[in-house]
Structure 1
Amino acid sequence: MTHSDPRGARWKPRFIDLFCGAGLLSYGFKSAGFRPNLALDVDRKAIQSYRANISKCAEVGDVSEVRDGINADVIIAGPPCQGFSTLGRRDPKDVRNELGLSVADWVEAIRPKVAVIENVPGFANTEWFDLIKARLVRADYAVQVFVLDAVEYGAAQKRKRAFTIASRVGHVECPSPRRSKPRTFKDVVLNRPIKPNDPMHIWPAPSPLAQQRFEAIPYMGGKRELMLYRPDLCPESWSHIPGEATDVWGRIDPNSPSNTIRCSFLNPSKGRYIHPFEDRVISLREGARLQGIPDSWIMQGEPTPIARQIGNGVPIPLGRAIAKQVMATILRNSGETPAYSAAA
């Protein structure tokens, strides 16, 4: 069912997406009944992907410059997380950390009903979060933080993200986790054939050494097994790397959700990204499926930039779960009826 304005015209709440990337969070909101009004990012290839798969409203632009004359019911944003991520250096002086303050500029200027800022869980424990929250509170927004794992909302991937929700139209409920069993790599990849001509079903050709390693890694195995059974294929430096860094060159467990899909998932040295049965890393399409991206999406650019677009995004099932709760809050305030299907 769609909702309508008092004049009877079709109506969907509008949103602006800042730091939009290829648009995974936008797609979650769009599938929950919202309409994108503007999307901004500095990554030209990501904007091309957004325009190809979601909406022509996306532009290459500087998020630090607030646009005049643009209205929106919701602002969503995913400012850079490298300065807060446990996988990065967590440098409090990283200049990218300041970009999150731009979101507060947009909120103060546009006055949306709700703003959603997505980042890594560590973001909520930083001085930058405190600064943003203080500005949102001064602007009469109630601020909540949800730390959610994508695997509990329908993604076949373990990935925790923090959502800062600022609302001036009422309390936004935390989405309830799905009651069904977690989706697995087998569910979304192995049980769903990929079209032979899919342009995103590609992966890097391995070097001769990498190929030997792939062939030597057993089912569910990884770097540990290589060091134990094929030390001739391992550099001496591997024996000096701390234990927590040994879950690399690993085969994915087909009967479990995958580990977090990073921007570098085409590189087996960055995580457990080797196909469960084939001697290769997972393809761009397989990584996209783990993020909940439809097979209809064809992303723009060379393989490495596409992998970055995939890994930088919010898993679509998780973004949709947040979007539905935001929609419900807006509709409670307006008395309208949801436009999305409960089964979506």
Structure 2
Amino acid sequence: MQETTFVDMFSGAGLFSAGAVQAGMRPLLAVDVSKEAIATYNRNVGPVAVVGSVTDFHDVPRADVLLAGPPCQGFSTLGRQDPLDARNALALTVPRWAEVCAALVVVVENVPPFPRSAHWREMAVEFQRLGYNVDTWELEAADYGTPQLRRRSFTVASRVGRVERPEPGLARISAGDALNRKVLPDDPMHRWPTPTGIAADRIALVPPCGDKRDIMKAAPHLCPPSWAKVGCQATDVWGRIDPARPANTLRCTFQNPSKGRYLHPTENRTLSLREGARLQGVPDCWQFEGRPYPVARQIGNGVPVPLAAAVLTAVQAAITSAGATSTKLAA
């Protein structure tokens, strides 16, 4: 049987691609604007990634599957949800790439509000014009073997018939399952910013599963007036991860305790880069390229690998069942 091939737009460090490789696919090309992310991709997935913009890249090979994770900032509830964000229009480049590479199936990953946007509707209409049937899934990463709560939308445009939505796993994996595994003592990814001053004093006051509310009770003098004004909102900041449950959604700023529930369950520090990668389902053999914050961005921006693998295993099954190749359909 001919091996299924894929191209990855907006590839980042390659977590989406890693799921495709786990599903039995082979990468032909990956493109992203971040040189650090591309270096990470080439080191861990395969030496096929190049630095560039999807808007002016032309040497796109034929491939069976096209992956795309266009920027989500304009659609995310964690951002401004700005319909005028110029990055939103990048989603409209995906059908053009699909036509050039003659993809059998296109998978577009984004935040849950994306399929309700005007840009999604325009993209879907273009897919339909090209002969694709379009379906949307909203999946929770924790249901597919990721030790993290992270809901994502997947738009699946197919020319090989219906792609069946993947079935959730039987049991969720807790954050503790991921964080308690031994880390090699010389792992360069097992690093975190050392807390000092007020930050260190605050962290030391947070009990297991606690958060900023515990700091406010124990040491009001360490708390800015804004904390009292916010009240019951943003209670996860300066919070410890509950090791018995999947972690909260991992953002690019997971090494900053003021941005979410990112404190280690028992130690007085934030997550290490390795621990953040584990919460995204990234194998410990991966090494990321760049300084700590660019690495944290690569991790936080990625598709959880187990979720990606579940989605692309379903895509692989549909392609295999149809017995199709991009060359056959193009002919």
**TM-score interval w.r.t. the shorter chain?**
over 0.9
> What one-letter code is carried by the residue in structure 1 that aligns with 2:143?
E
Q: Which amino acid aligns with 1:81?
A: C
**Could you tell me how far apart the structure 1 residues matched to 2:274 and 2:60 are?**
38
CA contact (8 A) 1:219 1:276 kept: yes
Q: Does 1:186 align with 2:168?
A: no
CA contact (8 A) 2:105 2:158 kept: yes
Deviation of 1:66 (Å): 4.5
Aligned length: 325
| 1:289 matched to 2:275 | no
Alpha-carbon distance, 1:246 to partner: 2.2
Q: Which runs of 5+ in 2 are unaligned?
A: 326-331
Partner of 1:59: 50
Residue 70 of structure 2 aligns with which residue? 79
- Contact 2:60–2:100, Cα closer than 8 Å, also in 1: no
In the alignment, structure 1 residue 92 sits paired with structure 2 residue 83: yes
| CA–CA separation in structure 2 for the residues paired with 1:334 and 1:220 | 50
User: 2:235: which partner in 1?
Assistant: 246
| C-alpha distance in 1 between matches for 2:232 and 2:114 | 26
Contact conserved, 1:149 with 1:161, CA < 8 A, in 2? Answer: yes
Residue 34 of structure 1 pairs with residue 25 of structure 2: yes
| CA distance in 1 between partners of 2:10 and 2:201 (Å) | 40
Please say if residues 188 and 289 of structure 1, whose CA atoms lie closer than 8 Å, have aligned partners that are also in contact: yes
CA distance in 1, matches of 2:260, 2:21: 31
Partner of 1:143: 134
Which residue does the alignment assign to 1:152? Answer: 143
**For each residue in 1:129-164, what CA deviation from the matched residue of structure 2 results, as whole angstroms up to 9, or x when unmatched?**
000000001111000000000000000000000000
Cα RMSD of the aligned pairs, angstroms, is 1.2
- Residue 313 (structure 1) aligned to one of 287, 295, 302: 302
- Alignment of 1:133 with 2:121, yes or no, is no
SS class of match (1:121): coil
Give the match for residue 328 of structure 2: none
Q: Percent identity, please.
A: 50
Secondary structure of the structure 2 residue equivalent to 1:36: strand
Give the match's secondary structure for 2:187: coil
- Quick check: 1:330 aligned with 2:319? yes
The one-letter code of the counterpart of 1:304 is Y
Whole-angstrom distance in 2 between the partners of 1:120 and 1:294: 24
Partner residue, 2:329: none
Contact 1:66 1:105 in 2 (8 A): no
Q: Cα deviation per residue 1:84-115 (whole Å; 9 max; x = unaligned)?
A: 00100100000000111111111122221000
Letter in structure 1 aligned against 2:174:
T
Task: Give, in whole Å, the separation in 1 of the partners of 2:57 and 2:106.
Answer: 15
Q: 1:149·1:159 contact (CA, 8 Å) conserved in 2?
A: yes
Q: What SS class does the counterpart of residue 98 from structure 1 fall into?
A: helix
1:243 CA drift (Å):
2.8
Give every structure 1 segment of 4 or more consecutive aligned residues whose post-TM-superposition deviation is greater than 4 Å. none
How far the C-alpha of 1:247 sits from its partner, in A, is 1.4
Structure 2 residue 193 is matched with structure 1 residue 204: yes
Residue in structure 2 matched with residue 339 of structure 1 by the alignment: none
Q: Secondary structure at the match of 1:197?
A: coil
- Which structure 1 residue ranges, 5 or more long, are not aligned? 5-10, 337-344
Q: Does 1:163 align with 2:154?
A: yes
Measure the CA separation in 1 of the matches of 2:197 and 2:60: 57
- The answer to whether the 8 A contact 2:60-2:97 is kept is no
Which of the numbers 228, 252, 264 marks the counterpart of 1:275? 264
SS at structure 2 position matched to 1:146: strand
Tell me the SS of whatever aligns to 2:122. helix
Alpha-carbon separation, structure 2, partners of 1:103 and 1:94 = 17
Pick the aligned partner of 2:206 from 210, 217, 220: 217
Q: Deviations over 1:309-336 (max 9, x none)?
A: 0000000000000010000000001189
